[in-house]
Structure 1
Amino acid sequence: MNLSGGTVLAFDFGLKRIGVAVGNTVTRNASPHKIIHAPTNDGKFAEIAALISEWQPFCLVVGVPRHPDGAEHEMTVRCRRFANQLNGRYNLPVMQVDERYSSAIFQAGKGEYIDDASAAVILQQYFDENP
């Protein structure tokens, strides 16, 4: 996809939390933004809708995990479903990025959530792979 310009939101999807990062195609830098902790899907999508309303992104990015050898697993399917739901609900293009090692880049302390930082790694990878 040719990045014409604008804000991009990225998501590190998890069953309990969703990390969110924001960036734009001018600076091509991604920043951790927040972690969504809503206990229900409706609550998660309500928070995502508020973020989309606030940031007005021109596209969304979702990290899709795989095994180290590239094989798919259960979370691969769930993340793709999440990406499809984002596209269907918000009518925005959704790009999928291989997130195999996004969480491994950070050394998290006990009880520390890194989902927003992982989302920033996913978004930065998207920027780097799409000049």
Structure 2
Amino acid sequence: MIILAFDYGVKNIGLAISDTLLSYATPLPSLYNFKKKIQWKKIQNILFTWLPKYLILGYPIDNKGKKQKIAKKIEIFKLNLEKKYKIPVKLHNEYLTTKIAKSILFQKGGFKELKKKNIHSMSAVLILEGWLEIFKKNINNI
């Protein structure tokens, strides 16, 4: 089944796509939050193109179990996604994904790769791959 992941940011929303048959995700172009307004039309087009079964949304919980400042905005984004598109949205801890994404991008292409849009989409890849790992473990334990 197709799964789409989001890495919500105030200015950019990263996206990644995968199939549960795979162990890896592919980044999609990130969306720019023009004047902090979510581009719902573009999200709708992406959802109609890929027809995902679930949406995975990065949720910022630190290593002590505390929510980060942006968590409230992500919770609102989650509610809006569910309300508008009637697709289940699952939260997945995104702790350290931004730092790891920056490291991966820097190794690939140096400073020129470290653009916010690239960082958010790579973070979405990491979020989705983390979710896929847990999903596959649960399937194997059935």
Q: TM-score scaled to structure 1, two decimals? A: 0.88
> What is the RMSD of the two structures over their aligned residues, measured on CA atoms?
1.7
- Please say if 1:72 is aligned against 2:77: no
Structure 2 unaligned regions, length at least 5: 137-142
Secondary structure (helix, strand or coil) at the match of 2:56 reads strand
Deviation at 1:28? 3.2
1:53 matches 2:58:
no
State the distance in 2 between where 1:15 and 1:63 align: 13
More helix by share: 2
Number of residues paired by the alignment?
Answer: 126
Question: Any runs of at least 4 consecutive aligned residues in structure 1 with deviations exceeding 6 A, and if so which?
Answer: none
Matched, 1:117 2:122: yes
Deviations 1:22-63 (A, max 9, x none): 001112321111110140566511111010011011110000
1:130 corresponds to 2:125: no
> Mean alpha-carbon deviation: is it higher for 44-53 or for 111-120?
111-120
SS at 2:15 equivalent: strand
Distance 1:48 1:102, change over 3 A: same
For 1:130 and 1:86, locate their aligned partners in 2 and report how far apart those are by CA, in whole Å. 21
Deviation at 1:77, TM superposition (A): 1.6
| Cα offset, 1:74, TM superposition | 2.3
Change (3 A) 1:43 1:94: closer
Gaps of at least 5 residues in structure 1 are: 1-5
Identity fraction in percent: 25
**SS in structure 1 of the partner of residue 67 of structure 2:** coil
The structure 2 residue matched to 1:36, chosen from 31, 34, 55, is 31
TM-score by length of 2: 0.81
Letter in 2 for 1:70: G
- Pair 1:15 & 2:18 matched: no
Q: Of the two, which has the highest radius of gyration?
A: 2
